[in-house]
């Protein structure tokens, strides 16, 4: 087994180029460091240095050890700083896994705002499909996840949000005179919808079938953002989550070309903030989870203001 002291000695010898210089920097004797190197070479069953004309020449294994030892010693130093600060310093990373609708357009702003209050926090964000997000959270590899649906289990916590999908129409459409849009209002109109296997697309077709009117998913898109241009041009209507309504209002350059109304029968869109159950979160990760939940609630309230005053239902 290689000790932290042995790693420190090797790193110092490699940095200074000699055992004598390393001994001076570490406050030890040259024989003591020579003995440490010999002991490590016996442990590894290989030589780390060759002597040529009174010079130490590292062999390739020494450079490999240097890379690994430097990484480990940096992590140990970060841990010391964390403990010294009483836990106020954040860990090296807060790992987040998110579905695209959040990862591309919502999370960056939340992270930027959080970093102002927690400048030592670093982030690693993986944007994945919801099944991949849930799977990666179940393996306890991430601190916080955002995914469609999500179900509480012995592996993950799920803070669920249930919201009603909205109908999106081109600004000026006569149907906007109504506060609630129904399938019968949209008969004969092409729809900008999701791919056939998406649960909103399935629910939308079922609603039209139940109403006894034709459903024409002329434009089947990967996500809601891809539907904006089609809806805004009047080529079709759309039904998607309030998240997409919020993103359109906040980020789309021409955000006045689409208006939103409630849709009946209700199509529920569910998403979750997910955290691991079998790995405790750091203080920084817990603080980020709280900030994220507050930001999600604020975002949903803003989205609802674009439609009507009906309160958001939260699980």
- The predicted pLDDT at position 157 comes to 94
- pLDDT for 297 equals 92
Amino acid 266: pLDDT: 94
How confident is the model at residue 312, as a pLDDT?
39
Asked whether the beta carbons of 46 and 61 are under 8 A apart, the reply is: yes
Mean pLDDT per 10-residue interval, the chain, length 315 residues? 88 86 90 90 87 78 86 81 56 84 86 90 90 91 91 92 93 91 94 92 95 94 88 94 85 76 93 92 90 92 70 41
Query: Residue 167: its pLDDT value, please?
Result: 94
| Contact residues for 39 (Cβ-Cβ < 8 A; gap 6+) | 6
pLDDT at 90: 46
Give, in words, the CATH class of 4-84: mainly alpha
CATH 3.40.190.10 region(s) of the chain?
94-162+270-305, 166-266
pLDDT of residue 205: 95
Size of the chain, expressed as the number of residues it contains = 315
Q: Which fold has domain 166-266?
A: D-Maltodextrin-Binding Protein; domain 2 (3.40.190)
Give ranges for CATH 1.10.10.10 in the chain.
4-84
Q: What is the pTM of this model?
A: 0.65
Q: CATH 3.40.190.10: does it fit domain 94-162+270-305?
A: yes
What pLDDT does residue 254 have?
A: 64
């Amino acid at each position: 087994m290689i000790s932290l002291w042995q790693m420190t000695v090797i790193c110092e010898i490699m940095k200074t180029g000699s055992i004598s210089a390393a001994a001076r920097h570490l406050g030890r004797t040259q024989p003591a460091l020579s003995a440490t190197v010999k002991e490590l070479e016996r442990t590894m069953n290989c030589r780390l240095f060759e002597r040529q004309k009174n010079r130490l020449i590292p062999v390739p294994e020494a450079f490999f050890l240097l890379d690994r030892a430097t990484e480990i010693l940096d992590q140990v130093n970060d841990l010391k700083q964390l403990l010294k600060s009483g836990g106020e310093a954040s860990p090296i990373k807060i790992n987040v896994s998110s579905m695209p609708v959040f990862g591309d357009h919502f999370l960056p702003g939340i992270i930027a705002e959080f970093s102002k209050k927690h400048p030592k926090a670093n982030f690693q964000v993986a944007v994945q499909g919801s099944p991949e997000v849930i799977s990666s959270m179940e393996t306890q590899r991430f601190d916080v996840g955002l995914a469609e649906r999500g179900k509480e289990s012995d592996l993950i916590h799920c803070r669920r949000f249930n919201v009603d999908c909205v109908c999106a129409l081109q600004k000026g459409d006569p149907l906007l005179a109504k506060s609630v849009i129904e399938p019968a209002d949209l008969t004969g109109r092409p729809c900008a919808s999701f791919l056939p296997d998406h649960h909103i697309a399935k629910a939308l077709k079922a609603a039209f079938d139940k109403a006894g009117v034709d459903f024409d998913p002329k434009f089947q898109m990967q996500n809601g953002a891809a539907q904006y241009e089609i809806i805004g041009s009047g080529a079709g209507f759309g039904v998607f989550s309030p998240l997409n309504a919020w993103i359109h209002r906040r980020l789309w350059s021409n955000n006045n070309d689409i208006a939103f109304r409630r849709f009946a029968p209700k199509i529920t869109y569910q998403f979750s903030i997910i955290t691991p159950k079998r790995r405790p979160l750091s203080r920084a990760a817990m603080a980020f989870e709280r900030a994220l939940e507050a930001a999600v609630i604020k975002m949903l309230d803003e989205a609802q203001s674009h439609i009507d005053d009906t309160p958001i239902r939260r699980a």
